[in-house]
Structure 1
Amino acid sequence: MVLLKCARVTNFLQRAVGTKGLTYSTRARKKPGFQQANVVILHKDLADDFEAFCRANSSPLPLLYRSKCGEWSAGPLATASDIREDCPEYCVFENGRLMKKVSSLSSFTSELEHMVTFYLGCSFGFESALTAAGVPVRNVEQGRNVSMYKTSVPCIKAGQIHCPMVVTMRPVPEDKLDATAQCTHAIPLAHGGPVHIGDPKLLGIRDLSRPDYGDPVDARPADVPVFWACGVTGVEAVKSCKSALAFTHSPGCMFITDQKAEAISPLSLEPAQRPLTFRISQDPQHYSMASERAVQQIRAIEELAVEDPGSRGIRALFLQDELLKACLSLSHSSSVLITTGFPTHYMHNPPEETDGPPGALAMAAMLQALHKEVVIVTDQRALEMNQHIMQDAVEKGVIKSAVPVISFQSNGPDSALHFLCGDGDPTKPRFDHLVAIERSGRAADGNYYNMRGVNIKHLLDPIDELFTAASTIAGITTTGIGDGGNELGMGKVKAAVKAHMPNGKLIACDVAADFAITAGVSNWGGYAVACALYVLNLCPVHQRYLQRGLGLSPTPEQQSKWAECLPTVAKEEEMLRILVKYGVRSGKTANLGLEVDGLTFHPYHSDIIQRLRHLTYD
């Protein structure tokens, strides 16, 4: 007996046994380890639009092969195949509506002579790679088809074709997220790496127990929902274009090729392509992703920013990867509120110091370049001065466009909620990230102290209330940047402040941020945030994840604009000159000059800026 090619044998068996009640895992055991394909069949007049749609949305629709008009076989994928018979079940659409499901398309042969077939990669192709990496595949364990969901994420339109992206979901143990991301990222023809990890509501999915396609899959207690782009997006595309007649595979009833599915070892990936995952929010649960190379760069930036030339002992407050996780969160944000201002010089007018505002503007400049909405909140007492400083900074080229500078007044227990959320509704936050840099923070006794232990509460508005309110509002993340432990947000490390910093038990800030970035000088922490955001947005792994696998890589023009917004020695020196013009003094010495925290701009701060830039471009 002559043995038929693998795909034909398997597809013949599928038809012979029928598909009713036949789950994916049953079929997979007949043909383990082979690449499977989603199928879309459209009239030839729509073929070019659909191919363009696939090219623009390659993550959900990785194009394996486009047939010639009227071609039944897919020679490059499976020898002796016949698309009229080789899927266990097909969907028949008329004018965008699903009319019926059939086990064969032979009765439509005359219509198919004027149609083009598209074979698209399928995530079933990477399940063997997950298994090889030691990642449990829950849908296979449970004998179920994978769960598939329509999302609120729009694909990029091409011609007449537009639709939301469809995703698959597989629950994965948290300690297997890195392995999961790495082994699937290496297989782009099976949709590549995840497009979202965490809360399904961030994709517009309300209920995981009610998939739009496939079967519900049960998660274990330590599992995290992981989502991949799905080829069933092609089904939604067919519905959207309302072709008089079109066909797709029935979800889960795939065309099986003769090609082996890849099983890539994560160890074989280059650092620039090896994803690492990090949790950036607990409420809602949200993880982000960057390449190992980008992570290494940002860790080097973080280590430089925490250098302590003043020998203040701030290394005792340092937590690794706070810069990385804060910047991953900021990269996902759309609207950021920044606060700064430490009136340590209570004997002078103004009492502000030169640490804080330069770092705040450095962050704001990069966030603006990344198309984030940015607002700065400060004390009413210093509002007019800071608005003038902002105007001067624009005129001198420190920042390209002015950031709104506003104040916050507490008029009752709900003031912070109404400031942060439209109509005081916690489901409508105006900002999704709050950043405090060198902002005096409230101590446990309700007062605000400088490093000498002097109470300066009378000079401050209660901006801390915004951070404490944010901790109760889902969807708002907070970051604090400090160099002594008495700054807003540094309550996350207050135990270390009390144990290691002078006057620590008195001055330690009691208000914690989600992320606490420790720096030798707080401005350096702001510069580090700007540099890390630049690194992340040049990282192809992070960019892909940020865009849900849709769209193109940043253009050289975009990259150039981001680079122009990085801190430079010239810009930061100019910023200090502007502060001195308004009487703002060095924090440690009260000198009115180009000095921050007792360190002259040259050589200390200029050297750090140059080294940060070197690490950023490395």
Structure 2
Amino acid sequence: GYKQANVVILPKSLADDFEKFCHANDGPLPLLYRSNPGDWKCPSLSSDSDIRTDCLQYRIYEHGACTGSLKSLKEYSEQLKDMVTFYLGCSFSFEKAVQNAGIPIRNVEQKCNISMYKTAVPCYSISTFCCNLVVTMRPIPESKLEAAVLATSELKEAHGAPIHIGDPGLLGIQDLAKPDYGDPVHLHPGDIPVFWACGVTGVEAVINCRASLAFTHSPGCMFITDIKNDNVTVRSSREVPQVHCISQDPLHYSVVSTEAAQKIKTLETLIGIDPGDRGIIHLRRQDELLKACLSISHARSVLITTGFPTHFTYEPPEENDGPPGALAVAAMLQALEKEVAIVTDQRAMNLNKKIIEEAVQLGILKRPVPLLSYQRESANSALMFLCENGNPGRPRFDHLIAIERAGMAADGNYYNARKANIKHLVDPIDELFLAAQTIPGITTTGM
């Protein structure tokens, strides 16, 4: 097959900003070619093209509203003299590579257009161009997920690897049966919904910029280039992607390179060494470090808890190395532009406040970390703390991390390593982790 392109045609006064918008969002909008004003050809993509007639159907937009569909733009030739055409990569260009990998293309089997959905994921805004990401969805058999990622990851001009694998709700998509563009594509038993960035994102940007006049292709009616789809192979075995399931409810898979996965597994082996022979080796869970890393990488808002009084007769009780570990994780999360907060015992609030203030002064933290406390006031206290108005569908945090944290024993007390009861110093923060098990979308990690 031949490479295909999404098409956006804008007034030349908006062209520079739209090009910047494409570069800032090159996942959904890989720019293949930008024409000069009034130029209807694209010599690097096609030897004899005319953008006025080479798409099967076009849409016309006036002040952000779609005012009709057209088979040809020739009647607008005069207006097009002051307009610039953008040719953007399309996921149809990778379907041959996917088929060559032995993966069924359900929309082809079902003889329908691909499903396209608006998401709740914002693109980077440039001037008047702002919109949420649009994605395509292709059902992929679970056993073929890695093959699908491998087949597409190097095809950057066709959006590359998928941006999400699993529950559509994590992207803000409510119903797969109701695509915003295209046709519904039905999943077979054992299929997993896999989502790729989509060039129709450009259509949403055109709508929101409210240009006096703009044109796009009709979704699914692409511009077909003269360039053949050449299969691209991954150059190094270290870069071969792996797919791991990191959550069953909601269903969520993550992608990691073989090299990164191996480094994390090496770290896990080192962490498992117990030089003090403390008898904690049974606490280690094989391959959980990789899943925890991947899960945290997807999180938007992380809640960290720490607090384990050691010399508990001191005033205030001394802490172990949990608080500095929590700050190190918080600093890493801030560097990744994630929201982060710390919840700790009421008796340790002043101690942690001073540590956080000093960490900001020293430049360890970019900004202060919100410091929270939790008390059990009712049976729903944990749910109210974790979710807006206690609604499990609206969690405030999507990942909880416990670092050197005391947990409740079977008898309801809390003990240190010397078997001394420290319940009077410990707030029931472990209830948050128990409650999180019942809230879809919240995952937990213990260190």
Aligned-partner Cα distance in 2 for 1:376–1:63 = 42
- Counterpart residue identity of residue 75, structure 1: P
Describe the superposition over 1:271-291 as per-residue Cα deviations: whole angstroms up to 9, x where unpaired.
3x4333333333333333333
- 2:330 is aligned to 364
Contact conserved, 1:133 with 1:265, CA < 8 A, in 2? no
Secondary structure at 1:286 match in 2: strand
Aligned-partner Cα distance in 1 for 2:361–2:205 = 49
- 1:596 is aligned to none
Describe the superposition over 1:566-617 as per-residue Cα deviations: whole angstroms up to 9, x where unpaired.
xxxxxxxxxxxxxxxxxxxxxxxxxxxxxxxxxxxxxxxxxxxxxxxxxxxx
Matches within 5 A, 1:68-467: 68-266=36-234, 268-269=235-236, 271=238, 273-343=239-309, 354-388=320-354, 390=356, 402-451=368-417, 455-467=421-433
Aligned-partner Cα distance in 2 for 1:397–1:73 = 53
Matches within 5 A, 1:543-562: none
Deviation, structure 1 residue 270: 5.5
- Counterpart residue identity of residue 62, structure 1: P
**Relative to structure 1, is the Cα distance of residues 307 and 381 closer, same or farther in structure 2, using a 3 angstrom cutoff?**
same
Contact conserved, 2:334 with 2:365, CA < 8 A, in 1? no
Aligned-partner Cα distance in 1 for 2:203–2:361 = 53
**Relative to structure 1, is the Cα distance of residues 96 and 380 closer, same or farther in structure 2, using a 3 angstrom cutoff?**
closer
Q: Higher helix proportion, which one?
A: 1
- Counterpart residue identity of residue 232, structure 1: V
- Counterpart residue identity of residue 187, structure 1: L
Secondary structure at 1:205 match in 2: coil
Aligned-partner Cα distance in 1 for 2:367–2:31 = 42
Out of 41, 52, 64, the residue aligned to residue 32 of structure 2 is 64
Deviation, structure 1 residue 353: 5.2
Deviation, structure 1 residue 399: 5.5
Deviation, structure 1 residue 145: 0.7
Deviation, structure 1 residue 139: 1.0
**Relative to structure 1, is the Cα distance of residues 238 and 420 closer, same or farther in structure 2, using a 3 angstrom cutoff?**
closer
Range with bigger deviation, 57-66 or 43-52? 43-52
**Relative to structure 1, is the Cα distance of residues 350 and 276 closer, same or farther in structure 2, using a 3 angstrom cutoff?**
same
Contact conserved, 1:186 with 1:269, CA < 8 A, in 2? no
Contact conserved, 1:147 with 1:169, CA < 8 A, in 2? yes
**Relative to structure 1, is the Cα distance of residues 165 and 394 closer, same or farther in structure 2, using a 3 angstrom cutoff?**
closer
- 1:605 is aligned to none
Secondary structure at 1:365 match in 2: helix
**Relative to structure 1, is the Cα distance of residues 201 and 312 closer, same or farther in structure 2, using a 3 angstrom cutoff?**
same
Deviation, structure 1 residue 458: 4.5
Describe the superposition over 1:193-215 as per-residue Cα deviations: whole angstroms up to 9, x where unpaired.
11222222232222111111110
**Relative to structure 1, is the Cα distance of residues 38 and 372 closer, same or farther in structure 2, using a 3 angstrom cutoff?**
closer
**Relative to structure 1, is the Cα distance of residues 187 and 409 closer, same or farther in structure 2, using a 3 angstrom cutoff?**
same
Deviation, structure 1 residue 60: 1.4
Secondary structure at 1:474 match in 2: coil
Range with bigger deviation, 393-402 or 83-92? 393-402
Describe the superposition over 1:496-524 as per-residue Cα deviations: whole angstroms up to 9, x where unpaired.
xxxxxxxxxxxxxxxxxxxxxxxxxxxxx
Contact conserved, 2:310 with 2:320, CA < 8 A, in 1? no
- 1:491 is aligned to none
**Relative to structure 1, is the Cα distance of residues 75 and 374 closer, same or farther in structure 2, using a 3 angstrom cutoff?**
closer
- Counterpart residue identity of residue 475, structure 1: G
Please identify the structure whose Cα radius of gyration is greater. Answer: 1
- Counterpart residue identity of residue 367, structure 1: L
Aligned-partner Cα distance in 2 for 1:47–1:391 = 46
Describe the superposition over 1:523-580 as per-residue Cα deviations: whole angstroms up to 9, x where unpaired.
xxxxxxxxxxxxxxxxxxxxxxxxxxxxxxxxxxxxxxxxxxxxxxxxxxxxxxxxxx
- Counterpart residue identity of residue 440, structure 2: A
- 1:475 is aligned to 441
Secondary structure at 2:182 match in 1: coil
Describe the superposition over 1:434-456 as per-residue Cα deviations: whole angstroms up to 9, x where unpaired.
21122222233434344555554
Contact conserved, 1:187 with 1:262, CA < 8 A, in 2? no
Could you tell me the percent identity over the aligned residues?
Answer: 61
**Relative to structure 1, is the Cα distance of residues 393 and 145 closer, same or farther in structure 2, using a 3 angstrom cutoff?**
closer
- Counterpart residue identity of residue 277, structure 1: V
Secondary structure at 1:124 match in 2: helix
**Relative to structure 1, is the Cα distance of residues 209 and 418 closer, same or farther in structure 2, using a 3 angstrom cutoff?**
same
- Counterpart residue identity of residue 130, structure 2: H
Describe the superposition over 1:299-322 as per-residue Cα deviations: whole angstroms up to 9, x where unpaired.
222222222111234334322332
Aligned-partner Cα distance in 2 for 1:76–1:385 = 64
- 2:2 is aligned to 34
Deviation, structure 1 residue 166: 1.6
What TM-score comes out, normalization by structure 2 length? Answer: 0.90
Deviation, structure 1 residue 385: 4.3
Contact conserved, 1:42 with 1:115, CA < 8 A, in 2? yes
Aligned-partner Cα distance in 1 for 2:19–2:297 = 31
- Counterpart residue identity of residue 322, structure 1: E
Aligned-partner Cα distance in 2 for 1:165–1:390 = 36
Aligned-partner Cα distance in 2 for 1:384–1:52 = 47
Deviation, structure 1 residue 171: 1.4
**Relative to structure 1, is the Cα distance of residues 93 and 340 closer, same or farther in structure 2, using a 3 angstrom cutoff?**
closer
Aligned-residue Cα RMSD (Å) equals 2.7
**Relative to structure 1, is the Cα distance of residues 45 and 402 closer, same or farther in structure 2, using a 3 angstrom cutoff?**
closer
Secondary structure at 2:285 match in 1: coil
Contact conserved, 1:333 with 1:433, CA < 8 A, in 2? yes
Describe the superposition over 1:231-251 as per-residue Cα deviations: whole angstroms up to 9, x where unpaired.
112222332333333322211
Deviation, structure 1 residue 182: 2.2
**Relative to structure 1, is the Cα distance of residues 367 and 60 closer, same or farther in structure 2, using a 3 angstrom cutoff?**
closer
Secondary structure at 1:51 match in 2: helix
Aligned-partner Cα distance in 2 for 1:246–1:365 = 45
Aligned-partner Cα distance in 2 for 1:291–1:215 = 33
Contact conserved, 1:126 with 1:262, CA < 8 A, in 2? no
What TM-score comes out, normalization by structure 1 length? Answer: 0.66
Structure 2 residues not aligned, in runs of 5+: none
Q: Higher strand proportion, which one?
A: 2
Contact conserved, 1:67 with 1:117, CA < 8 A, in 2? yes
